[in-house]
A = this chain, B = another copy of it.
Amino acid sequence: MAGLKGKDILHGNQFSRKDIEGIMKVASAFEKEGKGALNVLKGKILATLFFEPSTRTRLSFEAAMQRLGGGVISLGSLESSSVAKGESLTDTAQTVAQYADVIVLRHPRQGSAKEAADAVSVPVINAGDGAGQHPTQALLDMYTIRKELGSLKNLKVCLAGDLKYGRTVHALAEVLSLFGARLYFVSPSMLRMPEEITAGLRSRGIEVTETEDLLQAASLSDLIYMTRIQKERFSDQGEYERVKGSYVINNRFLSQLKKEITLMHPLPRVDEIHPEVDGYAGSAYFRQMRNGVFIRMALLAMIFGKR
């Protein structure tokens, strides 16, 4: 896949099934070879421009770049807020593109990553543009699933929690569908997966079940991908408490399942996965974080034509 050289990474849709397999192969090689990565991007500079906080995504990219031997410059959070006031995003991006060889951008406005990418001559990686995309998250999720379950083909996957606003689960559902999944969407009715996504999946032959019953869906699945339900989505606090309480994975929940299952979560979590299950063999959410570094190492190396 020399095809990534010099390219932007803006949208999950830009990757075919074959592309995804190629990226995962490079990530896997980096994971195994360890020190072989040390000088791959020596002398290159990555700039992180985060116009809203995202500690784990920023740190993950910065670790990936440095593990490849490259350097990092970062717009601080205070600075990005002041920059945001006085200067257009494209001017900031065009300036930073004079200092850095690749830009990682998070910005609250949907479409902002594309806008920045169109303005500059260096590759831009979208690390979240509001309700839009966060393509490297979907890739690291897929990489984790393959490692945990051994394959990506025809999996039974339960996506649970806030399916309405969750950028992560939207992208994951789309990408999973490339590999022929059986999907269970578990959420309270007010936080259901957007109709256009569900309809799109079904039109491509993916069987989807929507339900409020986590236990039942989980008992039919290989994997639960859990997400946080945010208090601020609810006007009625009693309703929030009731809903939140119904989506909690703890030891009791796992014992009711009567089989092994893989647990993933984009983190941070609040109450939806109890820390008492952190030691459970299927709890993959911290390993998922680690996989993000390998996926980002792969993407960075490929963007520079080094893999």
Q: A: which residues have CB within 8 A of B?
A: 35, 37-38, 42-43, 45, 47, 53, 55-56, 59-60, 62-63, 66-67, 69, 71-73, 75-79, 82-83, 86-88, 90-92, 94-100, 267-270, 275, 278, 286-287, 289-290, 292-293
Contacts and interface: CB of A to CB of B under 8 A. Distances in A.
A55 B47 CA distance: 12
A298 to B, nearest CB: 15
B37 A94 contact: no
5 contacts: A47-B59, A56-B95, A63-B71, A91-B275, A97-B286
A53 B78 contact: yes
Contacts of A76: 76-78
Contact of A53 (B43, B63, B82, B293): B82
B78 A71 contact: no
A55 B67 CA distance: 25
Contact of A59 (B38, B43, B60, B99): B99
A30 to B, nearest CB: 12
B293 A94 contact: no
B47 A43 contact: no
A82 B59 CA distance: 15
A45 B71 contact: no
Given A59-B96, A79-B55, A289-B98, A87 B268 contact: yes
A62 B66 contact: no
B289 A95 contact: yes
Contact of A275 (B90, B270, B289): B90
Given A38-B43, A55-B83, A88-B275, 19 more contacts: A45-B66, A47-B59, A53-B82, A55-B75, A55-B82, A56-B95, A59-B73, A63-B71, A63-B100, A66-B72, A76-B76, A86-B268, A87-B267, A94-B286, A95-B268, A95-B289, A97-B286, A98-B286, A99-B293
